[in-house]
Structure 1
Amino acid sequence: MTARPADLAILLPPSESFQAANAGAISLSVRDFVRFSGYADRTTVFGARVDEPFAGIRFRGLATRGLAGSRRLAYLLSATRALLTARPKLIEVHNRPEFLPWLMRVAPGAGFALFLHNDPQAMRRFRSAGERRALLARLDTVFCVSGHIRSRLLEGIDDPALARKAVVCPIGFDLPVFDARRAVIAAPRDPVVLFVGRIVQDKGADLFVEAAAAALADRPGWRAVMVGADRPPEGATARAAAVSPFEAAVRARVAAINAGRDRPLIEMTGFRTYDQVLDLYGRAAMAVVPSVWNEPFGRTAVEAMAMGCPLIATERGGLRDIVHGAGLTLDPATPDALAAAIGMLADDPARREALARNGRAHLDRQGYDIRDVAAGMDRARRDRLGQPVSAPPVSTSGNPPRPPLTQRTDDA
């Protein structure tokens, strides 16, 4: 790519892997933010060293080991050296507010932004309202992945000027790519109820098993598929890769449900590649996101709707922003309520088709196309970076670009 100054520096968490082989959710999001930004040729992503970073994006690998002993400290010291050399105009830190006071001290001439992908009240040096208020006063912008995360950031802070710095910026998706992929998948859809996610209690995996068993036992031809495990296998240690007690209990329950059947009622596949998951969304009759914790965002819900898959979800955290008005929502979720929702959709193909159409249109209406999201982020950066040198890709949503930077709450 054209060698231009690194006016924008994006600092990833040290745990992220900025490469296709095992990229986490934050790395995938940053990859797309940069690719669709008008500042792409003036941006450098800083992250833990990897073998093959994403192509077409300037990347600087940082050390995660050193004399300091601490992985976090070694990473911060490596980032400090790299940023002092690059001298960017704007430093955007993802999910690590505890890094900011030090970086502000060593790079006093730069502007700073923070991108929150998770609950800020669970982050170091950001848990109390006083800590959040003090750091927010020194930042240009805090991008919040959902209205729920914005509300958590501003809890206990009643200063309107500080509140205006906190803006909702959802993860964006290249929706035309989903449309093209969906178009080549043969219809009709399979009689499958799909769960994608980690097999943990927060994601409602046990809730899904009980509901699916109750709803599908007397509906011939229908079955449930669960994609995921407790932890992903890439780079896992032997201990981390072991099946957790919760996942073992879920698997035992599924085995008991399937016992004596000619064909499993519930299939657990383990992890699948991203492309395989999208194909499953494109073929399944419905998807379920039964989270029982407050999801920061809800990526799987967007992916399901983008692939035209009718969706049932709980209204927990950021899921409310995504699904409300575009799918069947449950609050609170119980096995009986979820089983009733699954059964109702299984028996009503017209309703499933209506939800599929509405879900995909909802993503356009709400501005989840990556072009809209990236354009809004660029507008927030202009005071520091000036006008983009390169024009960002044109939105295909059919909507005028909206500011991502809505100051919505989770009640919006």
Structure 2
Amino acid sequence: MKVLVVHNRYRSEQPSGENNVVDQEVGLLRSAGHDVRLFERRSDDIASMSFVGKATVPLRVPWNSAVRTYLVEQLRADRPDVVHIHNTFPLLSPSVVAACSDARVPAVATLHNYGMVCPPGTLYRDGHVCTSCVGGQPVPAVRHGCYRGSRVATLPMALSTAVNRRRWWSGISRFFCISGAQRELLVSAGMPGESLVVKHNFVDDPALRRELPGEHVLYLGRMTEEKGVRLLMDAWSVADVGMPLVLAGTGPLSDEVASWAAGRADVQYLGLRTKAECQALLARASAVVAPSVWLEAFGLVVVEAMAAGVPAVAPAHGAFPELVDDEVTGLLHPPGDAPALAAALRRVVAPARNRELGDAARLRYEKEFTPSVGLDRLLSGYRAAIG
């Protein structure tokens, strides 16, 4: 099969799970013998633009005519069987959907977040879950400045959401939702259910897997409020787990986390780590904690933990209830509840129970989240779109 992947890569200064998913899918398809080509833009390139170029980036968020022209030319030259669209913000824009229609090439799109119904794609505002724009126009997002706390920065995203919604819904043959929870919310917002299929992200089988007993509880991810970092700090302060907490990642709360960790003998903050270093940390973990207070559309770190045979502790909302079998492959706790999170952390590291949970997590990975399962679901969606 001949596939063209369309993606606006996120800035390299902050690790992107979405970039990783795109790279893994491209590698998977190529290893299976498919011809995969790329049509990309990189957010890193904005820094090297002229003053005028930088100033006009927001104007191109809702619609980029030049990209439409370039993509049509490439489609007519390469004649792919299908186009797979990922992120279009900020340099590509939904004009890529029109380009596919112009060239009469079927298109699919992976919905990595909630951008179809929420301009910043997070369903999160002022420390709580927000669905004010779901099912309606994104006026509340502008009023509250939901993107970077700025009404001006939010306006182009809101405009793009409002004016391109129907184009997305009519121009894309198949939307890949990365969880059933995400699909359910999008259907309730009015998206065409017949075009939405669930395709969980897959994870490569790691070279390192856990050898009991684990040495630490691991948080692996961005240091942001919505990821539940402050909730985790509150819970750990009363948890008395009996082993250290290790945190790896970077983000706006990095300094706060580093300061908190420096005052505790049972916490270690490592900052940003390479992929190999993260895999080594996973292989030595007794449990992974993913305390997100927003509605995660997936939860890649939980599946990475499964692959390593490590149980996870996560909140019972968003995609986590379909990823974590409560009391079987890990533990769920009420969202935003620090004492409940602390109690779950104490329970998950109990040696006998920990082994059972980890073994079950690995079995779940082997059934549902391997590259072979991911390839089957990906190709099935492509064939449906082509048909």
TM-score where L is the length of structure 1: 0.71
- Aligned position for 2:204: 174
**Where do residues 256-267 of structure 1 align in structure 2 (5 Å cutoff)?**
256=263, 258=264, 264-267=265-268
Change (3 A) 1:137 1:83: closer
Q: Partner of 1:46 in structure 2? A: 39
Question: 2:202 and 2:291 mapped to 1: Cα distance?
Answer: 22
Give 1:50 deviation, angstroms. Answer: 11
Call closer, same or farther: CA 1:279–1:81 in 2, change over 3 Å. same
Does residue 255 (structure 1) correspond to residue 262 (structure 2)? The answer is yes
Task: Give 1:13-412 correspondences, 5 Å limit.
Answer: 13-15=8-10, 24-37=16-29, 41-48=34-41, 65=49, 69=54, 70-71=56-57, 73=60, 76=64, 77-78=66-67, 80-87=69-76, 88-89=79-80, 90-96=82-88, 99-101=93-95, 103-104=97-98, 107-120=102-115, 121-123=117-119, 124=157, 127=161, 132-133=165-166, 135-157=168-190, 162-175=192-205, 178=206, 180-182=207-209, 187-216=211-240, 219=242, 222-230=243-251, 244=252, 246-256=253-263, 258=264, 264-325=265-326, 326-346=329-349, 348-365=350-367, 367-382=368-383
Q: Give the corresponding residue for 2:130.
A: none
Q: 1:181 to 1:102 in 2, by over 3 A?
A: closer
More relative contact order in 1 or in 2 (CA 8 Å, sep 6+)?
1
Q: Is the 8 A contact 1:48 1:62 kept in 2?
A: no
The question of whether the paired residues in 1 share the 8 Å contact of 2:219 and 2:248 is answered with yes
Query: Aligned partner of 1:164: which letter?
Result: E
CA distance in 1: counterparts of 2:47 and 2:382, whole angstroms:
28
Change (3 A) 1:211 1:164: same
| Equivalence for 2:122 | none
The residue type paired with residue 357 of structure 1 is: D
Shift of the alpha carbon at 1:314? 1.0
What is the alpha-carbon distance in structure 1 between the residues aligned to residue 226 and residue 22 of structure 2? Answer: 25
Q: Which runs of 5+ in 1 are unaligned?
A: 1-5, 52-60, 231-243, 259-263, 387-412
* Secondary structure of 1:293's aligned partner: coil
1:126-151: CA deviation from partner (whole Å, max 9, x where unpaired): 746x9645531232111111122222
SS in 1 for 2:314: strand
Please tell me whether the aligned partners of residues 14 and 250 of structure 2 are also in contact (alpha carbons under 8 angstroms): no
**One-letter amino acid of the structure 2 residue matched with residue 148 of structure 1:** A
Provide the secondary structure at the position in 1 that maps to 2:238: helix
Q: For the residues of structure 2 that align with 1:247 and 1:62, how far apart are their CA atoms? A: 25
1:9 aligns with 2:4: yes
Does the 8 A contact of 2:306 with 2:362 survive in 1? yes
In structure 2, distance between residues paired with 1:37 and 1:7:
10
Deviation track 1:197-243 (CA, whole Å, cap 9, x = no partner) reads 112111111221222232227x4xx211111121xxxxxxxxxxxxx
Distance 2:180 2:11 in 1: 24
Unaligned runs of 5+ in 2: 120-156
